[in-house]
């Protein structure tokens, strides 16, 4: 269910380690939950390798298509962290050490009594025209340029940056949902459920099978932005199912 005033988004996960299986992604679920809760519709996710051409192509495809593009990964201090340079290339802008980012990192180094080394300073390099996205955990900031929000890959830091940028985002109507849990295989309710979807075309209906206590079970999930329609669709479906 997408309506004209929906605010849409895509998520781009950057990192060889997800594609090799070494690291199991936790950011897709966390970003999906957060965006759903604030009224932004996550429409697409991509995972690409630490490869500049791949990142540039994905960034330009996704930022043109959705209201926002969130990225995670590749903004650390090592040679395989190429996200900031790739974003600059995608936007066709220069990249250099940002004085605001440098000041934040210098202050944090002073407190800890450590040197702001060239490697650390690499994390202060931002594409021209970026706004900082605060990192409440480890200081080195994320950034927002145009409609693209660039965040760290470490889940705790990613979440801190997502919280920090949220007040700046335009949001739409929250998608509400209701779940009906059934102890039956979905093939038993498929026809009835399809008829119910035809009756409520403005309520998105999905069926999710699983095993509960060794027996087939089904969750029917109804989603809509209008609470009255959602309640009506849920109550009439429960009556039809006899639950």
Task: Name the residue nearer to a second copy (CB basis): 171 or 187.
Answer: 187
Contact, 14 vs 71, CB < 8 A? yes
Q: How far is the CB of 121 from a second copy (least distance, A)?
A: 9
Regarding 69 and contact with a second copy (CB under 8 A), the answer is: no
Among 54, 85, 131, 232, binds a second copy (CB under 8 A): 54
Regarding 188 and contact with a second copy (CB under 8 A), the answer is: yes
Binding region for a second copy (CB under 8 A) out of 143-151, 165-173, 203-211, 235-243: 203-211
- Tokens representing 186 are 């979905």
Among 14, 40, 50, 139, binds a second copy (CB under 8 A): 50
Among 4, 5, 20, 111, binds a second copy (CB under 8 A): 20
d(CA 240, CA 242): 6
Instruction: Spell out, one character per residue from 93 to 132, where the chain touches a second copy: x when CB under 8 A holds, - when not.
Output: ------------------------xxxx-xx---------
Regarding 213 and contact with a second copy (CB under 8 A), the answer is: no
Contact, 56 vs 23, CB < 8 A? no
Regarding 22 and contact with a second copy (CB under 8 A), the answer is: yes
For 130, list phi and psi in degrees, rounded to 5: -80, 150
Q: How far is the CB of 42 from a second copy (least distance, A)?
A: 5
Report the DSSP beta bridge partners of residue 8.
Answer: 41
Report the DSSP beta bridge partners of residue 76.
Answer: none
Regarding 172 and contact with a second copy (CB under 8 A), the answer is: no
Contact, 119 vs 80, CB < 8 A? no
* CA separation, residue 48 to residues 14, 57, 77 (Å): 5, 10, 19
* CA separation, residue 32 to residues 26, 44, 55, 189, 233 (Å): 10, 10, 21, 28, 24
Binding region for a second copy (CB under 8 A) out of 37-45, 95-103, 128-136, 227-235: 37-45
- Continuous H helices in the chain: 16-20, 27-38, 52-65, 83-91, 99-112, 118-121, 155-165, 190-199, 227-241
Binding region for a second copy (CB under 8 A) out of 9-17, 89-97, 160-168, 230-238: 9-17
Regarding 77 and contact with a second copy (CB under 8 A), the answer is: yes
State the residues that interact with a second copy by CB under 8 A: 13, 16-25, 28-29, 32-36, 41-50, 54, 76-81, 117-120, 122-123, 154, 156, 175, 177, 186-191, 193-194, 197, 204-211, 221, 223
């Amino acid at each position: 269910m997408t309506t004209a005033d929906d605010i849409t988004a895509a998520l781009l996960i950057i990192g060889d380690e997800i594609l090799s299986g070494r690291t199991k992604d936790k950011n897709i679920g966390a970003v999906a939950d957060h965006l759903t809760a604030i009224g932004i519709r996550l429409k697409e996710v991509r995972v690409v390798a630490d490869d500049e051409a791949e990142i540039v192509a994905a960034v330009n495809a996704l930022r043109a298509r959705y209201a926002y593009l969130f990225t995670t990964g590749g903004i650390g201090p090592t040679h395989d962290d190429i996200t900031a340079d790739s974003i600059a290339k995608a936007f066709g802008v220069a990249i250099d050490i940002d004085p605001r980012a440098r000041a934040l990192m210098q202050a944090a180094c002073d407190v800890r009594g450590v040197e702001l080394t060239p490697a650390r300073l690499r994390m202060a390099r931002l594409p021209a025209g970026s706004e900082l996205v605060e990192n409440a955990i480890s200081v080195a900031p994320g950034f927002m340029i145009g409609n693209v929000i660039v965040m760290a890959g470490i889940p705790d830091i990613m979440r801190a940056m997502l919280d920090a940028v949220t007040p700046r985002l335009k949001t739409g109507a929250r998608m509400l949902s209701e779940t009906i849990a059934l102890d039956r295989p979905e093939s038993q309710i498929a026809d009835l459920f399809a008829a119910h979807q035809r009756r409520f075309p403005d309520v998105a209906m999905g069926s999710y099978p699983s095993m509960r206590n060794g027996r087939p079970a089904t969750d029917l999930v109804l989603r809509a932005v209008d609470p009255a329609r959602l309640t009506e669709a849920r109550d009439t479906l429960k009556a039809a199912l006899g639950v």
